[in-house]
Chain A
């Protein structure tokens, strides 16, 4: 798409922003990334996402698209001639892919976030839920290379940003993700062999430091 302007409003730590960056890189779309300070949101962000005032926001030729999974689908549909396709073309498989991305958001990200944001009993509950849901996801992976089978796509993009949090969750939650879920960790490392992923995910140690700082602030 010659002459098209793509801007991404984002933060370095946002898992949701990482999804969009990976999708854009997979499609080889050139874009300008703008780091937002969420304590002092830019007027562009407030203008482009007045409803939620959140990142990421993709601005394509001046028009905003919000919500990470919606943005990734938009990228796949707009740059559909750029390989690879991120979603399957078969409607049933597409529905399965959407289901798993929704599962990742509602179950895995939710429980995982509570591991470091909560303490005491609430943290224990979050740990158990996180482990249960990771087991389900590992079951879905099975012996396949990627979460929907042979090809890297939408569901992998939805989940792989969380890999940069595994180190922090292990330290804070006192769990061993690699020991409990070797197949999932192998999958994550396989994804990291793709430049779109390795260039997007931040250093896990930086993520851990970030979590510790936030935990101090929350108290």
Chain B
């Protein structure tokens, strides 16, 4: 594919951005990474994603693709010469899509409440749903090395970014993910160890922890 230009508009702690970065790395795509300041969004971001004004946005040969899971499928379809990230069977593909939808509806939103809302009923409810959801997806992993089977796939890449946020979840959520979901943590460590696309993408846990602490101060959560 001659004269390819790929730009990724992103924000370093974003778990949605991380999933796209992992996909690009798995496929060996060269791209221009551009860090966005979400309090001062670039003209390019507002032009390329006028409806949602959110990251990540992949701009491929000048054309924008928005929403991380949509970008992910796009990447798999365009760079289809290596590292297939989806199963080929329509049923297995539907199941992979189902679990990423579950991650995006149940795990990440409850995680946000855990980190950024004060203690109380909403926080307690979110904490319960967060842990319950992690247990459900741990059940789906079963004894497989990856959600994708023998190799990292769509579900693995979509969920693994949460691992860089675990330290923050455990501190501010007052829970122990390793204790409640040991198989899931073992899977996460396996991804980091075996997949360069993951270890090169996930930021350091302490950096995320400090970022969350900073945002909590801005929101006045600890007061």
A99 on the B face (CB < 8 A)? yes
Q: Are the C-beta atoms of A102 and B67 separated by less than 8 Å?
A: yes
Q: Are the C-beta atoms of A95 and B94 separated by less than 8 Å?
A: no
> Chain B: interface residue count, which band?
20 to 34
B residues whose Cβ falls under 8 Å from a Cβ of A? 51, 60, 63, 65-67, 70-71, 73-74, 77-78, 90-91, 93-95, 97-98, 101-102, 136
Residue from B60, B65, B102 in contact with A51 in the complex, judged by beta carbons closer than 8 Å: B102
Residue from B65, B73, B90, B101 in contact with A74 in the complex, judged by beta carbons closer than 8 Å: B90
In angstroms, Cα B58 to Cα A99, docked, is 13
Total A-B pairs in contact (CB under 8 Å)? 53
In angstroms, Cα B98 to Cα A104, docked, is 18
In angstroms, Cα B86 to Cα A73, docked, is 14
Interface majority SS (helix, strand, loop, mixed), chain A: helix
A47 on the B face (CB < 8 A)? no
> Count of A residues near B, CB < 8 Å?
21
Q: Are the C-beta atoms of B91 and A60 separated by less than 8 Å?
A: yes
Q: Mark A87-114, 1 if CB is under 8 A from B, else 0.
A: 0000110110011001100000000000
21 A-B Cβ contacts within 8 A?
A51-B102, A51-B136, A65-B98, A67-B98, A70-B101, A71-B94, A74-B90, A74-B94, A77-B90, A78-B91, A91-B77, A92-B60, A92-B63, A92-B74, A94-B73, A98-B67, A98-B73, A99-B65, A99-B66, A102-B67, A102-B70
Q: Are the C-beta atoms of A70 and B97 separated by less than 8 Å?
A: yes
Q: Are the C-beta atoms of A67 and B101 separated by less than 8 Å?
A: yes
